[in-house]
Amino acid sequence: MKYKLLRELLPTALALLPFSGAFAQSIELVNPILSGFYPDPSIVKVGADYYLVNSTFSYYPGIPVMHSRDLKNWKQVGNVISRPSQMSFLGDRMTRGLFAPAIEYHNGTYYVTCTQIDHKGNFVVTAKNPAGPWSDPTFLPQVRGIDPSLYFEGDKAYVIYNSDPPDNKPLYDGHRSIKIIELNPQTLQTVGEAKIVVNGGVDLSKKPVWIEGPHLMKLGNWHYLYAAEGGTSVNHTEVVFRSKEPLGPFVPYEKNPILSQRELPKDRKDPITSAGHAQFVEGPDGKTYAIFLAVRPYEDNFYNTGRETFIVPVEWKDEWPVMVPGPNGVQYSYKANFPEVKQPGARPQSGNFGYTLTFEKQLDPALLFLRTVDSASFSLSKAKGLTLKLKPETCAETGNPSFIGKRQQHLYCTAETELTFAPKAANEKAGLAIFQDEKHFYYLCKSVDAGKSMLQLFKSTADVKQPELLAQAPLKSATGSVQLRIQAQADKYSFQFSENGKAWTTLKDQVDGKFLSTQVAGGFIGCTFGMYATSSGQPTTNTASFKWLKYEGNDPMYKK
């Protein structure tokens, strides 16, 4: 993201031109711009194109690359980690893996920096086309911490990142620093020693915690370093510092934080909370916008949709960037004066929407595997759709089960599929899961009990081999297809099935949804609806086929 003085002058110059209808177009930016589990956003503008990346933790493929020309309509064009040879997350909990990517562009090359937590740490990958293929990772052992981002100035590059406090001696829990180290953009090797440019946060005497997600940009004569503070939950905020030099010294804005939702009334309707981890970008209108993460809880701090990607306008006040969410905090929509640019073939990502995925030729790039991909474990066809081989691995463990998931993107939504599966024993199960992590999921599946074909609902437990059976009902056909439906209603889920596609039977409703929330499960991820088939630790040659996956969201805040 490089601002030019010309861009500062452009709005003034345009104001002097005779009025033209070409400038009278408007757009409604609906929040979140990426609904569901799309945390830790980072964005770059290259010409008229915007590219945005998000964290995926231990899901595979890692780090989706979204493209837009209007900051509203987004189409996934690829994934940064798209080959098992680049990286896999086998053995990792789902909430580990890849933390907080950042995307940048310089001299014809795209760069993504990220952290592989618990393993080799920070790395950089490159590509000539943001759709990929991306290079194998080059790890940066001298960059000790998390949340690395790049800043280019002239022929020099810098890595800015969250790191240890001075002398690795924290004064209090959550005491961190922001460091900068030079990077050779040709060899991707660090140069010299890292320098601390922010100690603790805005005011060390107030014991600020978790200064993280830093970015550095230059506008006019100032270098702006901005970062999240307060942790990624309800105390999340965004703060800004500036300096005349890229290495500081940096002075904090006296009116920090520049974004916070934590002071707003807790009983407000349809709250948006935990806002932070922002990045600035120039809009098509030449104005500045911020994209950032926030959440939509259905009660207190309970949410199942994970941290999502939002947008707000930014105003420049006394040469400081200040986000202007509105009098009651971040809004569900903003009007802007530039034209909407639709994305051919793109899935909708904001507001209420629905669509059906079919599996004739290829998987939608937004679909997710657990930890890596086993291409031999599934096949696609027009006749059967998605066929999964039953694998011994289960999603209660840390391997790679036969599981392909789609994000839950609404508080109120429905996922349906048509399953064809003939189980041969009680250990063979196939169906639809609503999955938060290894220890927090429900599984609506077809199986066998006492030799009879059954539709069953399981809840995960602390014992990976003993899920709790919540309900079951006999099926008329042992070999015929059955339609499965999971309905989310904020803190409640219902589980239904149909053997004729017309009459639906509720197996169990009013099932506890808070069990699937980040508040209960911990970690940093959101729920996914997973097509899932397992032989529960036993070998088998059986398969299960999913004809389609239908999804529909119906959140009340979008109903006019």
pLDDT digits (tens, 9 = 90+) for 297-322: 999 999 999 999 999 999 999 999 99
Pairing of strands 109-116, 121-127: antiparallel
Paired residues of 432 in beta bridges: 444, 531
Query: Coil, strand, or helix at residue 552?
Result: strand
- pLDDT score recorded for residue 523: 97
Q: Which two tokens stand for residue 3?
A: 């601002």
Residue 430 and residue 456 in contact, taking contact as beta carbons nearer than 8 Å: no
The one-letter amino acid at 500: N
> CA angle, 542 as apex, 444 and 94 as ends, to 5°?
50
- pLDDT score recorded for residue 488: 98
> pTM (2 decimals)?
0.95
Q: How confident is the model at residue 399 (pLDDT cuts 50, 70, 90)?
A: very high
- 12, pLDDT greater than 70: no
- pLDDT score recorded for residue 547: 98
* 173: annotated active-site residue: no
pLDDT tens digits for range 256-287: 999 999 999 999 999 999 999 999 999 999 99
- 432, pLDDT greater than 70: yes
Query: Cα–Cα distance between 232 and 238 in angstroms, integer?
Result: 11
Residue 211 and residue 200 in contact, taking contact as beta carbons nearer than 8 Å: yes
Mean pLDDT in residue range 144-154: 97
Query: Coil, strand, or helix at residue 10?
Result: helix
- pLDDT score recorded for residue 480: 86
Residue 536 and residue 428 in contact, taking contact as beta carbons nearer than 8 Å: yes
- 500, pLDDT greater than 50: yes
Q: How confident is the model at residue 56 (pLDDT cuts 50, 70, 90)?
A: very high
The position carrying tokens 């956003």 is 41
Q: How confident is the model at residue 8 (pLDDT cuts 50, 70, 90)?
A: very low
Q: Which two tokens stand for residue 480?
A: 């015929």
* 263: annotated active-site residue: no
- 4, pLDDT greater than 50: no
Q: Which of 90, 78, 84, 77 is nearest to 136 (CA)?
A: 84
Question: What is the biggest distance separating any 2 CA atoms in the chain, rounded to whole angstroms?
Answer: 81
Chain centroid to CA 46: 22
- 20, pLDDT greater than 70: no
User: What are the angstrom distances between the C-alpha of 138 and each of 115, 183, 373?
Assistant: 11, 12, 22
- 21, pLDDT greater than 50: no
Identify the active-site residue in 40, 182, 428, 437.
40
Query: Cα–Cα distance between 556 and 90 in angstroms, integer?
Result: 38
Q: How confident is the model at residue 560 (pLDDT cuts 50, 70, 90)?
A: confident
- 39, pLDDT greater than 50: yes
- 9, pLDDT greater than 50: no
Mean pLDDT in residue range 144-173: 96
Residue 377 and residue 402 in contact, taking contact as beta carbons nearer than 8 Å: yes
- 205, pLDDT greater than 90: yes
- 22, pLDDT greater than 90: no
Query: Cα–Cα distance between 470 and 472 in angstroms, integer?
Result: 7
Paired residues of 75 in beta bridges: 67
Residue 508 and residue 471 in contact, taking contact as beta carbons nearer than 8 Å: yes
Identify the active-site residue in 92, 212, 238, 438.
212
- 492, pLDDT greater than 90: yes
Percent composition of the chain: helix, strand, coil (DSSP 3-state, to 5): 5, 50, 45
Give me the percent of the chain exceeding a pLDDT of 90: 93
Q: How confident is the model at residue 24 (pLDDT cuts 50, 70, 90)?
A: low
- 15, pLDDT greater than 70: no
Q: How confident is the model at residue 327 (pLDDT cuts 50, 70, 90)?
A: confident
Residue 442 and residue 459 in contact, taking contact as beta carbons nearer than 8 Å: yes
Give me the percent of the chain exceeding a pLDDT of 70: 96
> How many residues are given for the chain?
560
Paired residues of 530 in beta bridges: 405, 433
Mean pLDDT in residue range 230-236: 96
121-127: strand order across its sheet: 98-106, 109-116, 121-127, 138-139
Query: Cα–Cα distance between 149 and 450 in angstroms, integer?
Result: 57
Mean pLDDT in residue range 64-92: 97
394 DSSP 8-state letter: -
Average pLDDT, the chain: 94
User: What are the angstrom distances between the C-alpha of 526 and each of 95, 184, 426?
Assistant: 9, 36, 30
Q: What is the 3-state secondary structure (H, E, C) of 30-90?
A: ECCCECCCCCCCEEEEECCEEEEECCCECEECEEEEEEECCCCCCEEEEEEECCCCCCCCC
- 2, pLDDT greater than 50: no
- pLDDT score recorded for residue 18: 33
- pLDDT score recorded for residue 10: 36
